[in-house]
């Protein structure tokens, strides 16, 4: 089965039926129902119940839904998984992921629960939040192969990392990420590419700043991210627009693939293109086809 092209992933708290329903009805390509940071400790049990009830009642064939579980060091991961695997989430998001060993550990737990529920083994994908601790960020420089076959994507995040590092802020006066967070972002991008999985750009926390969101989404696309997380439905339309190949980009891609069918170098206007550009063009055309463009 062809994987859907996902440009936007909308976070929503797992303890609110109303907000989950709103997210599922939004223009987001995928939804991340959150059992972790957006749920107060006293509401964790309710969030599991609400998430299972709402996802269990959704129509088949809808948009992909991930569930972000609590990190392994909380002792709640197994409880979260046991509550939601039976309602067939498209994937699970593992926060504060420290290593490939944690991905393997999560995969083993998913395999057992899939067997319990009579689900296809390996049906539940994994996305990690890859840069929430200093150790995890550094380890991304030596990314190992995924032994589970479940890893779908890697999301980088700067907010928890700021807390880990004791930073006052992760952005400069102009609103751009400071160097430590640019480094973490780059580590995630390189690791995702090395592993052949989707690189997901972090949330833009000021949902009342569409210009800033658009600029940051364009920067992510420019650098190689193919999706971006959102924290508010108002951000989704902009992310989808920016992450969708333009007619001009597709015209360029078609020219490149046509010109380089049987040669390694060609000229388009005053610029030379080669096989590296052909790979970029092919990725653009594949993505456009997945989006029905």
pLDDT at 59: 80
Residues forming beta bridges with residue 198, ordered by sequence position: 153
Which superfamily does 8-244 belong to? Answer: Phosphoenolpyruvate-binding domains (3.20.20.60)
List the structure tokens of 92: 């699970």
Q: Are strands 198-201 and 125-129 parallel, antiparallel or unpaired?
A: unpaired
Sign of CA dihedral 274, 279, 284, 285: positive
pLDDT at 252: 95
Provide the whole-model pTM.
Answer: 0.94
List CB contacts of 36: < 8 A, sequence separation 6 or more.
68, 69, 70, 71, 95
pLDDT at 2: 64
List the structure tokens of 260: 């380089």
pLDDT at 143: 84
Per-residue confidence of the chain (293 residues) as pLDDT tens digits?
A: 468 899 999 999 999 999 999 999 999 999 999 999 999 999 999 999 999 999 999 887 789 999 999 999 999 999 999 999 999 999 999 999 999 999 999 999 999 999 999 999 999 999 999 999 999 999 999 888 998 999 999 999 888 999 999 999 999 999 999 999 999 999 999 999 999 999 999 999 999 999 999 999 999 999 999 999 999 999 999 999 999 999 999 999 999 999 999 999 999 999 999 999 999 999 999 989 988 88
Return the exposure string of 224-258: e unless at least 16 CB atoms fall within 10 Å of the residue's CB, then b.
ebbbbbbbbbebbebbbebbebeeebbebbeebee
Q: Is 229 helix (H, G, I), strand (E, B) or coil?
A: strand
DSSP string for 206-235:
-TT-HHHHHHHHHHHHHHT--EEEESSGGG
Boundaries of every domain in the chain: 8-244, 249-290
């Amino acid at each position: 089965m062809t994987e859907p092209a996902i440009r936007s992933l909308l976070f929503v708290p797992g303890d609110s039926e109303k907000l989950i329903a709103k997210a599922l009805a939004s223009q987001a390509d995928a939804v991340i129902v959150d059992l972790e940071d957006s749920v107060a400790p006293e509401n964790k049990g309710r969030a599991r119940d609400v998430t299972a009830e709402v996802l269990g009642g959704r129509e088949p064939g809808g948009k992909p839904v991930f569930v972000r579980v609590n990190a392994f060091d909380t002792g709640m991961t197994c409880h979260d998984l046991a509550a939601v695997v039976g309602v067939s989430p498209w994937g699970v998001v593992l926060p504060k992921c420290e290593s490939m060993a944690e991905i393997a550990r999560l995969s083993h737990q998913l395999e057992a629960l899939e067997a319990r529920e009579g689900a296809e083994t390996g049906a539940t994908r994994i996305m990690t939040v890859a840069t929430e601790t200093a150790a995890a960020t550094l380890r991304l420089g030596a990314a190992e192969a995924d032994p589970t076959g479940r890893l779908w994507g890697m999301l980088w995040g700067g907010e928890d990392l700021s807390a880990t590092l004791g930073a006052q802020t992760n952005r400069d006066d102009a609103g751009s990420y400071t160097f430590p967070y640019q480094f973490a972002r780059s580590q995630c991008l390189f690791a995702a590419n090395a592993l052949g999985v989707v690189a997901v750009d972090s949330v833009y926390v000021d949902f009342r700043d569409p210009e800033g969101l658009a600029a940051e989404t364009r920067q992510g696309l420019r650098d190689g991210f193919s999706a971006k997380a959102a924290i508010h439905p108002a951000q989704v339309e902009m992310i989808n627009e920016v992450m969708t190949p333009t007619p001009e980009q597709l015209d360029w891609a078609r020219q490149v693939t046509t010109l380089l069918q049987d040669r390694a170098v060609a000229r388009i206007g005053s610029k030379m293109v080669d096989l590296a550009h052909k790979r970029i063009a092919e990725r653009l055309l594949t993505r456009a086809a997945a989006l029905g463009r």
